[in-house]
Every structure is written in structure tokens, then in C-alpha cells.
């Protein structure tokens, strides 16, 4: 059973209730609550040191886009991968929030009429619907720039070298050769009719790069060895692929109401997906195989990596 305050916010419906992952789901929910609390404080009306003022309408739009639910999966992965290397949650929180800010910005911009043109996100009106297009663009810009302020600030990590690596890696994951580039390929997909290899690359960029960063960031924060860092990066890549396959499956089998966003759009727009190429059953099997490969990558960490392994399984069993 979910705590009453989470049920009231409708968070309960995000999760399957088929038993095997109850502990994990409670951990994810509790973490999501702490992350949302920290985002709420970050997006307070009061200007932070060095800021001139925080325009009220922009703040309201940024809060709408960042505090409207969400599984908080990416920041959870930052916190848990950092914990694997002995980093306390408080010391990983700035990087976790930075990543969630980038994710929320991407969703706000993705929903714009010039992109996916969606009215519904996380069960609520999208930011441009609740406000207007110009405000939604600025809200995304505000979240993106705030992310890099967070990573560059001393509160993120005492070692400036670590902060700099996080900045560079997140910029690469979010930018031209990562999410933004993937979004470009996605916009062209209806005309380009990409084959399986091209779809995989598009997805690795658009969705996978931020999930890969989430896992690698923990290793960077924990000054892990190059080999452990590569392992976390590879784990992130695998779960990124599994996440996208699961998303494509949900896009076919789920509903707008269950997902809190419009489903079935890729097919309607003639964009090829792996589900269209492989079929539902094979797509599911491939997602399961990716989870097993991801879990195997972490075998050297023993049961200290159990939460991350459960997260990999959650990614393909989630209902939203």
C-alpha cells in the first residue's frame, strides 16, 4: 500500500502492483518525494545569491514543468550509483537535481507545437497549454541553465575537477551528440524511415544518453576507478535501451490515462519504432535480455548493487 500523501498526489498509479518489486518501488517513491522537495526549494520565488530577480510567471511555468509528478528515475539513478561508491545522498543531490532539470526542460520543449505538439504531460496540461509557447520555451531554457549552475557550484562537489567532468559529460549527453541530436533525428524520422540500426542510434541519443549519464555521474561523484566508471556507463547504456523499448511497448499497449500523456503517436505519424520492426513479443524479450545483461555487468559489486539491478527490472515492468 502506498502512503496516503503519495496516493493523494496520484503517484500510486505509476507503478505496477504485482509484488516482486514492492521494496524497490517504496524506495523509488520515497526518493522521488525527497527529490521533489529539493526541487521545490530550488524553484522558490526568492532569488538565489547573485540573481537579480525571479519573474513570477516564469517561476510558475518552471514549477509547473518540474513539480508535476514524474518518476524521478534519472535523479534516483544518480543517487543510487553514487551510493555504490560511498557517496552520501546529500553529496549527490545537486547533480541529481541538475539532471532532473535537464530532463524536465526536454519534456517541456518536446511538447511544444513545433516539436511533438502535445497537450498532456504527467497527467496535466503541458506547460505551453497552461501558460503560452514563449513562456514554455523560457521555462525550458531556465531549467537547462539552472542545471549547469547547480553542477558548477561548490555545493555540487568540493573538487572543481569533478564538477568540471560532470558539466562536460552532461553537456555531451544533453546536446548535439546526445539528446538534442536525437531529437533532430526523431523529427526527421517520419520522412527518413530509419532502419533498425538508425532507430537504435536515434534512441541511444534521444533517451539513452541522459540515462547513461545518470549512472556514470554516480561514479564520477565517487571518484571511481576508470574501470568501474566504464561499467556504470555500460550499465546506463543497457538500461537506456531497455527503457526505450519498454516505452515503445507502452506506447502501443497502454492508454493516455494510464501514461499521463498521449500514446500511439509514433505509429500515427509514421515514425518507425523497434516495436513496429520486431513486433511486441520480440521487443519485450529483447528488453528482458537487456535487463539481464545490465544486471550481469554489476555482478562484481555483489549485493551492494541490488538496488540498481532492481531499477533495471523496474524499467521494463513499469506501467507508466
Q: Report which of 315, 292, 268, 288 is spatially closest to residue 25, judged by C-alpha positions.
A: 315
DSSP state for residue 19 in the 8-state scheme: S
Please report the beta strands in 233-281, taking only residues with DSSP state E, as ranges in sequence order: none
Distance CA 291, CA 278 (A): 18
Q: Taking CB under 6 A as the rule, which mask of x and - marks residues 191-230 in contact with ligand GRG?
A: ---------------xx-----------------------
If the CB atoms of residues 180 and 198 are measured against ligand GRG, the closer one turns out to be 180
If the CB atoms of residues 58 and 180 are measured against ligand GRG, the closer one turns out to be 180
Q: Minimal distance in Å, beta carbon 203 to ligand GRG? A: 8
If the CB atoms of residues 103 and 157 are measured against ligand GRG, the closer one turns out to be 103
Does 36 interact with ligand GRG (rule: CB under 6 A)? Answer: no
Dihedral of CA 232/234/240/246: which sign?
A: negative
- Residue 264 Rama label (left phi>0; alpha psi -120 to 50; beta): left
Q: Minimal distance in Å, beta carbon 210 to ligand GRG? A: 7
Dihedral of CA 249/76/211/23: which sign?
A: negative
If the CB atoms of residues 64 and 71 are measured against ligand GRG, the closer one turns out to be 71
User: Cell triple for residue 47?
Assistant: 532569488
Q: Which stretch binds ligand GRG (CB under 6 A): 17-25, 104-112, 151-159, 214-222?
A: 104-112
Does 266 interact with ligand GRG (rule: CB under 6 A)? Answer: no
Does 247 interact with ligand GRG (rule: CB under 6 A)? Answer: yes
Q: Which stretch binds ligand GRG (CB under 6 A): 77-85, 103-111, 228-236, 272-280?
A: 103-111
Q: Report which of 113, 78, 100 is spatially closest to residue 215, judged by C-alpha positions.
A: 78
Site for ligand GRG in 156-185 (CB under 6 A): 179-180, 183
Does 70 interact with ligand GRG (rule: CB under 6 A)? Answer: yes
Per the CB < 8 A criterion, the answer to whether 181 and 217 are in contact is no
Please tell me whether residue 164 adopts helix, strand or coil conformation: helix
Distance CA 198, CA 192 (A): 10
What residue ranges bind ligand GRG (CB under 6 A)?
Answer: 70-71, 73, 103, 106-107, 109-110, 115, 122, 179-180, 183, 206-207, 247
Amino acid at each position: 500500500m502506498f502512503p496516503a500523501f503519495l496516493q493523494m498526489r496520484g503517484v500510486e498509479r505509476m507503478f505496477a502492483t504485482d509484488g516482486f518489486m514492492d521494496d524497490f518501488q517504496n524506495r523509488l517513491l520515497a526518493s522521488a518525494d525527497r527529490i521533489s522537495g529539493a526541487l521545490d526549494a530550488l524553484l522558490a520565488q526568492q532569488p538565489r545569491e547573485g540573481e537579480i530577480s525571479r519573474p513570477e510567471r516564469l517561476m510558475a511555468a518552471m514549477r509547473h514543468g518540474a513539480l508535476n509528478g514524474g518518476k524521478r528515475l534519472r535523479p534516483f539513478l544518480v543517487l543510487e550509483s553514487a551510493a555504490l561508491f560511498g557517496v552520501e545522498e546529500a553529496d549527490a543531490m545537486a547533480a541529481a537535481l541538475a539532471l532532473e532539470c535537464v530532463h524536465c526542460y526536454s519534456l517541456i520543449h518536446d511538447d511544444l507545437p513545433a516539436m511533438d505538439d502535445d497537450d498532456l504531460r504527467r497527467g496535466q496540461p503541458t506547460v505551453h497549454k497552461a501558460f503560452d509557447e514563449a513562456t514554455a520555451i523560457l521555462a525550458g531554457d531556465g531549467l537547462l541553465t539552472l542545471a549547469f549552475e547547480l553542477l558548477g557550484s561548490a555545493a555540487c562537489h568540493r573538487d572543481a575537477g569533478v564538477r568540471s567532468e560532470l558539466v562536460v559529460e552532461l553537456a555531451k549527453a544533453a546536446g548535439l551528440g546526445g539528446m538534442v541530436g536525437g531529437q533532430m533525428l526523431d523529427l526527421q524520422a517520419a520522412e527518413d524511415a530509419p532502419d533498425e540500426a538508425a532507430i537504435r542510434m536515434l534512441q541511444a541519443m534521444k533517451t539513452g544518453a541522459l540515462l547513461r549519464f545518470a549512472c556514470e555521474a554516480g561514479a564520477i561523484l565517487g571518484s571511481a576507478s576508470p574501470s568501474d566508471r566504464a561499467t556504470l556507463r555500460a550499465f546506463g547504456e543497457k538500461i537506456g535501451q531497455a527503457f526505450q523499448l519498454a516505452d515503445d511497448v507502452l506506447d502501443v499497449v497502454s492508454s493516455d490515462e494510464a501514461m499521463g500523456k498521449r500514446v500511439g503517436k509514433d505509429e500515427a505519424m509514421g515514425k518507425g519504432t523497434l516495436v513496429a520492426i520486431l513486433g511486441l513479443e520480440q521487443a519485450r524479450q529483447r528488453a528482458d535480455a537487456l535487463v539481464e545483461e545490465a544486471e550481469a555487468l554489476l555482478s562484481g559489486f555483489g549485493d551492494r548493487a541490488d538496488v540498481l539491478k532492481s531499477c533495471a527490472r523496474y524499467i521494463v515492468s513499469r506501467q507508466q
